[in-house]
Structure 1
């Protein structure tokens, strides 16, 4: 999510069209220039040294997420498909924003400013991915509601095929919403240079209020609506988990026992919560940019620009942290990762497909899983299954 005007990012404070030492410049103007130059330098250093770290750790983390979720334990689950798609989108976002910002600062190369076609495609993909990531997390949160409140229906509704339909529908709608970019964005001349921005005749082409409508639409799709939905779902899920935990403690003497549904729900709620925290600064900057009173002075505009650039860097951190959140809060994910890294020598827990999760949810209230004592060639089924698992 970014404002359409990017010409500010191309401003080079070492090439301003006036001499800082000019005797006509007042002391106040000199101090303002020094402050602005210092802010620019800090923002530049943040991206110069931070972007490579984000790219390296983000790429490795997301590749590990994809590998783990594509293994037999998770590949049939709907939430596994959602998180795999999320990891792919996060990786693409890292390269589109972090790599692009780093190339601008270090090599003075602007990927989106080379050709008209490149400008249109870059803008479309960037807006699409930002919107898509937010709504993937909304879909995951809604699915958890179904799993926790309607466990028997979840066995039928929350399948991998359903997840494919949901993802496809979201992608189709977002493609339609952002399709206007192909004719509203192009290379625009500014002070002898060409930048990827809204076309000059945008008011004649789309109407005088298009820019405001565009900014509010982007803000609503990427932040406001997903924020409201995810916060509502997360509060509902947490309340249900607390209630289920109390019932479990009252029904069993071992209060430490937790269902797979609870473990997965905690992992997904943590992911959505971290997304909300790390993307909130960008949303605040976008809201302030729509306030005419706040942006009426040039000093506020400059401060807002630099704040937004730092907020965008913080937003990129979200694409790196998901792997560590899964390891920290997801027992099933953590166990499968250990098994993969140990080449199958690590003893793993039973699978957590959607059907298993549904049965586990029901077990917290009335069904108890009973071990089977069936012998197969001198070994029970549990031992045989463990031996088969080590071959994965």
Structure 2
């Protein structure tokens, strides 16, 4: 695998599919003849342009590109070590917590989708790293799964934040408004919408053979304008911008409602105050996760806007800035990966009830071991008497 012929790494694919395909097509001048629109031609031609400064080194010789390659190779190990155990622990802990509420359902689904997102990225990376041929259907399926799982995980968090707003704003009506059946139907509807939104990948994507790079998943030339220009904005909005804005606004509304409810708690009975405190603990835990989501995901959205309007158009023929762009993209995408790998740890740090149940689950064998040792000691003492 010759890095001099690559301007992106396979892991970039599932952070935003259009970004990977844009950069993977760079340097392929034969495709330029099939696309007549000048806006699309801009995406296709980067590496073959004459340098603004001919004395500059190729981008793959800069330390920034080497650092980006290192992050691409090694950061996955950290993300996987945090993500898989954390998400599995979150699923088991939440399922053991009673009662199993609508918030529990959201948390379990979020952990499942986070795991699926990390798994799809890892599988694609390993397959492409070892030059395994995927064929058209394999490329289409991997791209679809990557895009769907990322988007669905983010929208689950949006729905979970909205449910918390209802619980804080309408505490007496939340059990009627938000039921497990309604939540399950809502999750199914959102899943169907996202499936339909990404179904075009089975038409627009195919596997192409490049002379030096081998087989690569890329966009069909006849669909290049739609994919690289129109779909770019749609996917970026669905994946990052709209969820971030929605979660940010909902969090502000939740904070305002919490401040109002604190003033009203003085008039509640002891039972109502206990229920209110439990809801407050859940709200604090989920709001913490959603705030972290906004911070980590918004960086991705801002970077992709920069990539289009400033970074790429301004520096597309400067190899140094290509190397810087690769390093920046790896750092930003690493933050996005952490969004799918760290929810459990924020549950643990911010949720007292969640932390208590998890510790009890881990230490559940201790009383049995202690009682077993006591029994063995008792039997031994009796046997010595005789």
What TM-score does the superposition give when structure 1 sets the normalisation length?
0.74
Match of 2:193 among 173, 181, 186: 173
* Distance change (3 Å), C-alpha of 1:295 and 1:332: same
Tell me what 2:80 maps to: 55
Conserved in 2, the CA contact under 8 Å of 1:339 and 1:345?
no
Tell me what 1:45 maps to: 70
- Report the Cα distance in structure 1 between the residues aligned to 2:59 and 2:207, rounded to whole angstroms: 31
- Report the Cα distance in structure 2 between the residues aligned to 1:184 and 1:9, rounded to whole angstroms: 15
Match of 1:339 among 342, 347, 360: 360
Tell me what 1:122 maps to: 142
- Report the Cα distance in structure 2 between the residues aligned to 1:343 and 1:267, rounded to whole angstroms: 24
Tell me what 1:276 maps to: 294
Match of 1:2 among 16, 21, 24: 16
* Distance change (3 Å), C-alpha of 1:240 and 1:277: same
* Distance change (3 Å), C-alpha of 1:161 and 1:288: same
Tell me what 2:104 maps to: 80
User: Within the alignment, does 1:222 sit opposite 2:239 as a pair?
Assistant: yes
Structure 1 stretches of 5 or more lacking a match? Answer: 12-24, 347-392
Counterpart mapping for 1:225-244 below 5 A: 225-244=242-261
- How many residue pairs get matched? 322
What TM-score does the superposition give when structure 2 sets the normalisation length?
0.75
User: Within the alignment, does 1:212 sit opposite 2:236 as a pair?
Assistant: no
Counterpart mapping for 1:365-384 below 5 A: none
SS at match of 1:194: strand
Tell me what 2:304 maps to: 286
Conserved in 1, the CA contact under 8 Å of 2:206 and 2:218?
yes
- Report the Cα distance in structure 1 between the residues aligned to 2:232 and 2:346, rounded to whole angstroms: 31
Deviation at 1:37, TM superposition (A): 3.0
SS at match of 1:317: helix
Decide which moves more: 240-249 or 84-93: 240-249
* Distance change (3 Å), C-alpha of 1:36 and 1:224: farther
* Distance change (3 Å), C-alpha of 1:110 and 1:124: farther
Structure 2 stretches of 5 or more lacking a match? Answer: 1-14, 27-49, 368-386
Tell me what 1:354 maps to: none
User: Within the alignment, does 1:149 sit opposite 2:169 as a pair?
Assistant: yes
Conserved in 2, the CA contact under 8 Å of 1:47 and 1:101?
no
SS at match of 1:152: coil
- Report the Cα distance in structure 2 between the residues aligned to 1:34 and 1:4, rounded to whole angstroms: 21
SS at match of 2:356: helix
SS at match of 1:80: helix
User: Within the alignment, does 1:307 sit opposite 2:325 as a pair?
Assistant: no
Deviation at 1:342, TM superposition (A): 2.3
Deviations 1:189-213 (A, max 9, x none): 334422111112215xxxx455311
- Report the Cα distance in structure 2 between the residues aligned to 1:252 and 1:334, rounded to whole angstroms: 27
Tell me what 2:221 maps to: 200
Deviations 1:279-337 (A, max 9, x none): 12211122123327852432355533432222111111112211111011112211211
Tell me what 1:350 maps to: none
* Distance change (3 Å), C-alpha of 1:34 and 1:186: closer
SS at match of 2:218: strand
User: What is the alpha-carbon root mean square deviation over aligned residues?
Assistant: 3.1
Deviation at 1:252, TM superposition (A): 9.8
